[in-house]
């Protein structure tokens, strides 16, 4: 029977409940629709879509460049929580400032969104690295999975609050998001994120750290160069990062492109929002189940099972446009169920498995690289869908190309020694 969660572990998990609201409301559902239909309504649809895509790509690129520096700085004694606090404060403020945007303010909206997303994602670099501080090696799978599980179900509550607020607006029945109510919804997200961050800031301590240097920034660059050299000593971690680059790209692309692909297949916005809610709710018990199963089964095998499920989802998505209408709707919901079943497990176990491969005193810099790989990976999949879809005349062929990512990721994952002991760095 698993041991009870400690106060630190519960506080760490609570943070996932808070920041998941930002992902669900600001990144995935309400903010993109508000930007398209209200803020940038005077722009041509293709132009506003392009600007939104550019903002996301730019934020991912900047974070990919900053993540290893943030992680390395966080490894020095006393820095990790201070940097996290600074990024959280910026994230709360920029999210709250989204309440000030309205029709025509598309440039300001994009700037605030980029700043908020950078603050959120940068904070996650430090948050992920705290896993080694709150959990022993044999607890990491369970604690990481519980973070994702409670994040999925916990983020549903603020989304329902925001949707309920929007439905009280005068424009809701016409299909256009009401400005004032939607703006108040962004404030709900900021407050929710703040509230569930407080336990972590109060209770979680940095257990593993490097001595504080005289010049932290200069030392962080030297330490970063050392990290790349040390990857040769940590072959398992290096090979895993290569595998992760490919398969998590496929996973993230399916998550981020699902709504766009759904619109290509003429699914209504209402249906797509309902599907996203369904995935969040159903993902909770599966992620929770993975947290129990990980105590008994090699986590690498569970990750491989997740890759297989996503490969099946990809192939079904390729077949979807050619199915009869009624069958298409049913199949789309089946795909949503499969995504919910695999999503939490593959994300949570990837994070915890990597945590077992690295020296805990260097967790920040290594998780910085982990986040860099994830951010750069987020660029390749959408480009494949766009380029191949354009060349072939249908996005389904671009979707099918994602199978390549899952196959390569699975092959590389088989080359990682299962559950190795982490190599302690020598300094």
Assigned domain for 236 exists: yes
Assigned domain for 373 exists: yes
Q: What is the pLDDT of residue 260?
A: 62
Distance of CA 89 to the CA centre of its chain: 19
Q: What is the pLDDT of residue 7?
A: 92
Q: What is the pTM of this model?
A: 0.74
Determine the 3-state secondary structure of 300 from DSSP: helix
> Nearest Cα to 63, choosing from 132, 148, 120, 128?
120
For 217-244, give one letter per residue: b (16+ CB within 10 A) or e.
eebbeebbeebeebbeebebbbbbbebb
Contact status, residue 167 vs residue 32, Cβ threshold 8 Å: no
Compare 106 and 234 and report the one with higher pLDDT: 106
Determine the 3-state secondary structure of 76 from DSSP: strand
Indicate which CATH number applies to the domain containing 21: 1.20.1250.20
User: How many residues make up the chain in this entry?
Assistant: 427
Compare 253 and 180 and report the one with higher pLDDT: 180
| pLDDT > 70 fraction of the chain, expressed in percent and rounded | 84
Determine the 3-state secondary structure of 22 from DSSP: helix
DSSP per-residue codes, 89-108: HHHHHHHHHGGG--TT-HHH
Q: What is the pLDDT of residue 284?
A: 79
Lowest mean pLDDT segment, chosen from 189-193, 205-209, 418-422? 418-422
Indicate if the pLDDT at residue 413 is higher than 90: yes
> Nearest Cα to 28, choosing from 94, 100, 120?
120
Compare 28 and 307 and report the one with higher pLDDT: 307
Assigned domain for 172 exists: yes
349-408 pLDDT per residue, tens: 887 888 888 777 666 667 767 777 776 766 777 677 767 776 777 778 888 888 999 999
Question: Number of structural domains, the chain?
Answer: 1
Assigned domain for 330 exists: yes
70-104 pLDDT per residue, tens: 777 777 777 888 889 999 999 999 999 999 999 99
Best-predicted range by mean pLDDT among 68-72, 115-119, 172-176?
A: 115-119
Among the residues of 204-234, which ranges form H helices? 216-230
Compare 171 and 385 and report the one with higher pLDDT: 385
Compare 307 and 358 and report the one with higher pLDDT: 307
Contact status, residue 113 vs residue 101, Cβ threshold 8 Å: no
Indicate if the pLDDT at residue 129 is higher than 90: no
For 80-93, give one letter per residue: b (16+ CB within 10 A) or e.
bbebbeebbebbbe
Lowest mean pLDDT segment, chosen from 17-26, 166-175, 348-357? 166-175
Indicate if the pLDDT at residue 131 is higher than 70: yes
Give me the phi and psi of 76, to 5 degrees please.
-75, 145
Domain coverage including residue 109: 7-198+232-413
Cβ–Cβ contacts within 10 Å for residue 281, how many?
A: 13
Give the confidence band of 419 by pLDDT, cuts at 50, 70, 90.
very low
Give the confidence band of 424 by pLDDT, cuts at 50, 70, 90.
very low
Give me the phi and psi of 210, to 5 degrees please.
-100, 155
204-261 pLDDT per residue, tens: 888 876 676 666 666 666 766 776 676 667 788 888 988 998 998 888 878 766 766 7
DSSP character for 422?
Answer: P
Lowest mean pLDDT segment, chosen from 108-117, 175-184, 269-278? 269-278
Residues 6+ apart with CB under 8 A from 393: none
Q: What is the pLDDT of residue 213?
A: 67
Indicate if the pLDDT at residue 409 is higher than 90: yes
Q: Distance between CA atoms of 34 and 169, rounded to whole angstroms?
A: 14
Mean pLDDT of the chain: 82
Indicate if the pLDDT at residue 328 is higher than 80: yes
Assigned domain for 211 exists: no
Q: How large is the average pLDDT for residues 23-34?
A: 85
Compare 421 and 315 and report the one with higher pLDDT: 315
Q: What is the pLDDT of residue 423?
A: 43
Rg of the chain over Cα atoms, rounded to whole angstroms, equals: 21
Assigned domain for 255 exists: yes
272-299 pLDDT per residue, tens: 778 888 888 888 788 777 767 766 777 7
Assigned domain for 352 exists: yes
Assigned domain for 168 exists: yes
Q: What is the pLDDT of residue 1?
A: 56
Q: What is the pLDDT of residue 158?
A: 93
Indicate if the pLDDT at residue 427 is higher than 60: no
Residue 215: burial class (beta carbons within 10 Å; 0-12, 13-18, 19+): exposed
């Amino acid at each position: 029977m698993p041991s009870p969660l400690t106060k630190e572990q519960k506080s760490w998990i609570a943070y996932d409940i808070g920041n998941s609201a930002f992902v669900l409301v600001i990144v995935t559902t309400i903010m993109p629709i508000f930007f398209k239909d209200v803020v940038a309504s005077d722009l041509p649809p293709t132009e506003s879509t392009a600007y939104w895509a550019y903002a996301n790509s730019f934020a991912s690129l900047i974070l990919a460049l900053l993540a290893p520096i943030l992680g390395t700085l966080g490894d020095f004694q006393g820095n990790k929580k201070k940097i996290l606090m600074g990024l959280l404060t910026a994230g709360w403020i920029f999210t709250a400032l989204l309440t000030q945007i309205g029709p025509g303010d598309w440039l300001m909206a994009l700037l605030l969104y980029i700043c908020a997303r950078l603050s959120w994602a940068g904070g996650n670099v430090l948050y992920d690295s705290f896993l080694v501080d709150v959990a022993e090696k044999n607890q990491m799978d369970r604690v990481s999975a519980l973070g994702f599980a409670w994040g999925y179900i916990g983020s549903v509550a603020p989304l329902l609050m925001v949707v309920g607020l929007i439905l009280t607006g005068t424009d809701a029945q016409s299909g256009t998001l009401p400005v004032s109510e939607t703006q108040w919804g962004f404030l709900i997200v900021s407050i929710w994120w703040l509230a569930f961050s407080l336990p972590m800031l109060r209770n979680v301590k940095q257990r593993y750290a490097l001595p504080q240097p005289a010049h932290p920034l200069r030392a962080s660059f030297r330490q970063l160069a050392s990290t790349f050299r040390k990857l040769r000593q940590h072959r398992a971690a290096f090979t895993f990062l290569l595998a992760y680059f490919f398969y998590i790209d496929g996973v993230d692309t399916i998550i981020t492109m699902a709504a766009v692909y759904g619109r290509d297949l003429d699914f209504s916005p209402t249906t797509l929002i309902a599907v996203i809610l369904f995935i969040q709710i159903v993902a909770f018990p599966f992620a929770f189940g993975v947290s129990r199963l990980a105590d008994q089964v090699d986590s690498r095998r569970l990750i491989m099972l997740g890759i297989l499920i996503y490969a099946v989802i990809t192939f079904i998505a390729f077949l979807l446009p050619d199915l009869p209408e009624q069958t298409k709707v049913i199949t789309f919901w089946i795909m949503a169920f499969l995504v919910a079943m695999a999503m939490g497990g593959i994300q949570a176990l990837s994070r915890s498995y990597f945590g077992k491969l690295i020296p805990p005193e260097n967790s920040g810099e290594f998780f910085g690289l982990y986040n860099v790989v994830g951010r750069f990976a987020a660029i390749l999949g959408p480009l494949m869908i766009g380029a191949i879809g354009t060349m072939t005349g249908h996005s389904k062929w671009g979707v099918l190309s994602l199978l390549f990512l899952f196959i390569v990721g699975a092959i590389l994952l088989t080359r990682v020694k299962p559950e190795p002991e982490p190599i302690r760095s020598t300094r």
